[in-house]
Structure 1
Amino acid sequence: MKNKKLITLGFASVTVALALLFSTNLFASVADKKEKSKEASRLEALAKFTKVISIVEQYNVDNVTIEELMNKALEGMMNNLDAHSNYLTQKDYKNLKVQTNGEFGGLGITVGVKDGALTVIAPIEGTPADKAGIKAGDIILKINEKSTLNMTIDEAVSIMRGKVGTKIELTIVREGETKPLAISITRGIITIESVYAKSVGTDIQYIRVTSFDKKVVTDVAKAIKEKKATTKGIVLDLRNNPGGLLDQAVGLVDIFVDSGDIVSQKGRNKADDESYSAKSSNTITKVPLVVLVNGGSASASEIVSGALQDHKRGIVVGQNTFGKGSVQVVLPITDEEAIKLTVARYYLPSGRTIQAVGVKPDIEVFPGEVKSTKNEFALKEADLKKHLVEELEKVDGEQGAQLPEPDSKLVISNEMISKDLQLKTAIDILKALIITKGE
């Protein structure tokens, strides 16, 4: 009986093994068929592409070389992937390298495609475009009478750049205007100063970051350390900042946040997934913080404002940001040409995405001047007869020495604040935070 049982079990085991082997072979066969089908589909698609190229080259009314056709095909393919992927010709690739170095000739605006239209993300502060009155959100209809319909970002940038001192005309549509505006701009050398630091009173520091170039973290850290002894609160102004280098955005958040995630990126390939976290060793200050943003705040600016908001490290004031939350990489295909490809999306510490949504401010404030009304009939103590005279401190029988006037380049004046409602709101909130904290 025992032998029979063993034989039965042995037979069952062999049956199971054969079944598993059959299943494995079946799955392998199915997978192999799928792979072969996929490869056949690829070859068929490539054959169709080659055939079309050959037909166009042979029968097109104009004589077009195979190189020109391939370039047009690459441009069309990359432009149809998304608004930020594109093929970089030799000229485009060279311009990109020049711009990365921080100095170039042109107008000084960052543009993107929004709702199918060529849109100004932000003018760079102090540049010809900024001085001419170009604003974030302006839609560019024409560049020198050339329509921007179906124009790529790189083509638009290429046209707007040119010889320093030459003029260019942009026809724009602006919200609130009843008809298009024609704005003439003289091209100039664009040198980007990315960080400006000023004082508001004696205990508030105003730091404006106009773009995220390779020196942002160093310059902001230096500015904070110089005023650290007297600073009780900071206004971080990221309005009209179109973005830039990711590592600088991460580093800027790290100055204010000592632990936790800052941003993560996730793509189709796991190799493109990455997460960036704060380190306590990089934190410089923990004073109250207010962040200013608007529709011209994009990409790296949205990472900074969104991360600080998620960590409840700062109060975000202003308007909803641009909504660019995708990651592009430049991949060379030759020594002189490359493609810019979207490979991932950004995600803030809470897990939310920026893409097409942006960062919603904690307190929404529209741009404008501070309006104040003065009651001419109101009386104060100083208007009354025989009011007590203010006692002044005396130093050796004389009135205290007058403090020297501060450098206007280093101070935000009351006049500047009165013309900027968003900044005024940020300062008022910061003062309340300082009082609440008991500084």
Structure 2
Amino acid sequence: MLKGSKYRKGTFLVVGISLLTLAIAFGVQRRCAAQGNDYESIELFTDVLSIVKKSYVEEVDTKKLIYGAINGMLSSLDPHSSFMPPETYKEMKIDTKGTFGGLGIEITIKDGILTVISPIEDTPAFKAGIKAGDQILKIDDKYTKDLTITEAVKRMRGVKGSKVTITIMREGFEKTKDFVLERDIIQVKSVKYKTLDDGFGYVRISQFQEKTDDDLEKALHTLHNENSPLKGLVLDLRNDPGGLLDQAVRVSEHFVPEGKLIVYTEGREKDSKMRFISRKGAKEGDYPIVVLINSGSASASEIVAGALQDHKRAVVMGTQSFGKGSVQTIIPLTDNSGLRLTTARYFTPSGRSIQARGITPDIQAERMEMTASADKKDGMHIREKDLDNHFETKEEKAPEEKKVKPAPYKTDEQIKSDSQILRALDLLKGWDILKATGKI
């Protein structure tokens, strides 16, 4: 029996080794097959390139063909991955500093149509009345149907003082309308502020740029000096298309207690897995905050809204946000061009992914223009889920938590006509009254 037992054990061992050998062989075979498929695909590409170079009706530039192929490859992935030729890459680096030439609109592709995500405040597009959801059918005499976002941006930018005509179709329009815009140097003031009423401040972040955190610190300092004490704050992130991730984290740190998770990212590569924890430093008091968002609030602005909402540090008011829950990494290439590649998804502290979903406000509040004629709601909504090739994501649980002075914002007349700001102010005042009476 003992011998039989040894024999059976030996048999199991031999079978185990055989299965392991088969598994390794199968794995190697699969890898070889995958590599073989890659090589075959690359060979197919070089064959097509060779045929085009040899037989196309006109002589073509090889770099132009390669750039076109890279554009096509990236556009098949998701709406935010893109290739930037040297000139575009250079402009992108200027954009993050807050100064560039053009019209002042954030654009995307929706259903194959160039569409406005949001106009940037105090720019030619904003002043001309361009709205979120507007479809740009033509730029000057060029139809936009086959243009990439990069090409469209290039056509809309130009020398200050030069003019460009964009043809717009909007929900409610019976026919297209031409807007003649004069290009300007776009100097986006990332942070603006104002005292709404005694003790109640207002801060607007229009975009997350290199100096956003510095400008916010100056704005908060001024509001504290104007109000003793500061009893409540409206943080306006409406139509904020996002920007730099590190600035979203730093903005959140003003309001999120030390040691608390602000946002974390998950991707395939090790460098894509990051956790951002609120660091030591000066923190704002525990006064109530209302964060305003709408369908134009995307990316970095959703990170801030989500962090403050999850930590119950603010009440979020407005309409569903855009839903851009992905992180893009900018990768410089050898010829001074650049690659914008989606490398990770980000999650709020509670583990929410807002990809194609957005941040849901605690209080739903459409914006109504307070005019004598009629109430007017927000423009046509466009969100991440409406974009071609957007990707869905499953809910995941959060890991355990181990110098330019910003300008005062909006006239009193503009404040009085903004129903969402007025409603936020009423909420803060109501909170203050309840607190004073001991009911909260």
Which bin holds the TM-score, normalised by the shorter protein?
Answer: 0.7 to 0.9
Q: List aligned pairs for 1:121-270, cutoff 5 A.
A: 121-228=117-224, 229-258=228-257, 259-270=259-270
* CA–CA distance in structure 2, aligned partners of residues 220 and 416 of structure 1: 21
Is the CA contact (8 Å cut-off) linking 2:191 and 2:219 kept in structure 1?
A: no
Cα distance change, pair 304–342 in 1 and its aligned pair in 2 (3 A): same
Secondary structure at 1:304's aligned position in 2?
helix
Q: Any idea what the Cα deviations from partners look like across 1:88-127, whole Å, max 9, x if unmatched? A: 1111112112222321111111212234332222222211
Cα distance change, pair 114–350 in 1 and its aligned pair in 2 (3 A): farther
Is the CA contact (8 Å cut-off) linking 1:321 and 1:358 kept in structure 2?
A: yes
* CA–CA distance in structure 1, aligned partners of residues 17 and 179 of structure 2: 75
Q: Any idea what the Cα deviations from partners look like across 1:379-433, whole Å, max 9, x if unmatched? A: xxxxxxxxxxxxxxxxxxxxxxxxxxxxxx8586653332111111111111112
Q: Of residues 44, 49, 56 in structure 1, which corresponds to 2:52?
A: 56
> Size of the alignment, in residue pairs?
400
Aligned-partner residue type, residue 110 of structure 2: K
Shift of 1:75: 1.4
Cα distance change, pair 114–359 in 1 and its aligned pair in 2 (3 A): farther
Shift of 1:20: 2.6
1:89 aligns with 2:85: yes
Is the CA contact (8 Å cut-off) linking 2:328 and 2:344 kept in structure 1?
A: yes
Aligned-partner residue type, residue 428 of structure 1: D
Secondary structure at 1:264's aligned position in 2?
strand
Shift of 1:270: 4.1
Q: What does residue 284 of structure 2 align with?
A: 284
Cα distance change, pair 219–411 in 1 and its aligned pair in 2 (3 A): closer
Higher relative contact order (CA 8 A, sep 6+): 2
Secondary structure at 1:331's aligned position in 2?
strand
Is the CA contact (8 Å cut-off) linking 1:137 and 1:295 kept in structure 2?
A: no
Q: Any idea what the Cα deviations from partners look like across 1:249-282, whole Å, max 9, x if unmatched? A: 1111221111532222222334312222224645
Secondary structure at 1:222's aligned position in 2?
helix
* CA–CA distance in structure 1, aligned partners of residues 252 and 190 of structure 2: 16
Secondary structure at 2:108's aligned position in 1?
strand
Q: Determine what percentage of the aligned residue pairs are the same residue.
A: 43
1:21 aligns with 2:17: yes
1:417 aligns with 2:415: yes
Shift of 1:285: 2.5
* CA–CA distance in structure 1, aligned partners of residues 294 and 26 of structure 2: 54
Aligned-partner residue type, residue 186 of structure 2: I
Secondary structure at 2:302's aligned position in 1?
helix
Q: What does residue 345 of structure 1 align with?
A: 345
* CA–CA distance in structure 1, aligned partners of residues 369 and 97 of structure 2: 36
Comparing 268-277 with 31-40, greater Cα deviation is found at 268-277
Is the CA contact (8 Å cut-off) linking 2:97 and 2:210 kept in structure 1?
A: no
* CA–CA distance in structure 2, aligned partners of residues 213 and 186 of structure 1: 24
Aligned-partner residue type, residue 195 of structure 2: S
Comparing 273-282 with 421-430, greater Cα deviation is found at 273-282
Gaps of 5+ in 1: 373-408
Is the CA contact (8 Å cut-off) linking 1:221 and 1:284 kept in structure 2?
A: no
Q: What's the RMSD between the two structures over aligned residues?
A: 2.2
* CA–CA distance in structure 2, aligned partners of residues 287 and 347 of structure 1: 26
1:47 aligns with 2:46: no
Comparing 52-61 with 271-280, greater Cα deviation is found at 271-280
* CA–CA distance in structure 1, aligned partners of residues 408 and 180 of structure 2: 32
Shift of 1:245: 0.6
Q: Any idea what the Cα deviations from partners look like across 1:208-242, whole Å, max 9, x if unmatched? A: 11110111122212322343342100000111111
Shift of 1:29: 1.1
Secondary structure at 2:26's aligned position in 1?
helix
* CA–CA distance in structure 1, aligned partners of residues 410 and 24 of structure 2: 71
Q: What does residue 318 of structure 1 align with?
A: 318
Secondary structure at 1:206's aligned position in 2?
strand
Secondary structure at 2:83's aligned position in 1?
strand
* CA–CA distance in structure 2, aligned partners of residues 118 and 78 of structure 1: 17
Cα distance change, pair 106–136 in 1 and its aligned pair in 2 (3 A): same
Secondary structure at 2:431's aligned position in 1?
helix
Cα distance change, pair 326–338 in 1 and its aligned pair in 2 (3 A): same
Comparing 131-140 with 273-282, greater Cα deviation is found at 273-282
Cα distance change, pair 151–37 in 1 and its aligned pair in 2 (3 A): same
Q: What does residue 302 of structure 1 align with?
A: 302
* CA–CA distance in structure 2, aligned partners of residues 429 and 117 of structure 1: 39
Q: Radius of gyration: which is bigger?
A: 1
Shift of 1:17: 3.1
* CA–CA distance in structure 1, aligned partners of residues 339 and 212 of structure 2: 27
Comparing 290-299 with 170-179, greater Cα deviation is found at 170-179
TM-score, L = length of structure 1: 0.85
Aligned-partner residue type, residue 413 of structure 2: E
Q: What does residue 336 of structure 1 align with?
A: 336
Q: Any idea what the Cα deviations from partners look like across 1:196-217, whole Å, max 9, x if unmatched? A: 1110121001111111011112
* CA–CA distance in structure 1, aligned partners of residues 217 and 50 of structure 2: 58
Shift of 1:56: 1.5
Cα distance change, pair 67–218 in 1 and its aligned pair in 2 (3 A): closer
Shift of 1:8: 5.0
Comparing 237-246 with 341-350, greater Cα deviation is found at 341-350
* CA–CA distance in structure 1, aligned partners of residues 133 and 285 of structure 2: 34
Aligned-partner residue type, residue 316 of structure 1: V
Aligned-partner residue type, residue 232 of structure 1: K
Cα distance change, pair 358–114 in 1 and its aligned pair in 2 (3 A): farther
Is the CA contact (8 Å cut-off) linking 2:266 and 2:346 kept in structure 1?
A: yes
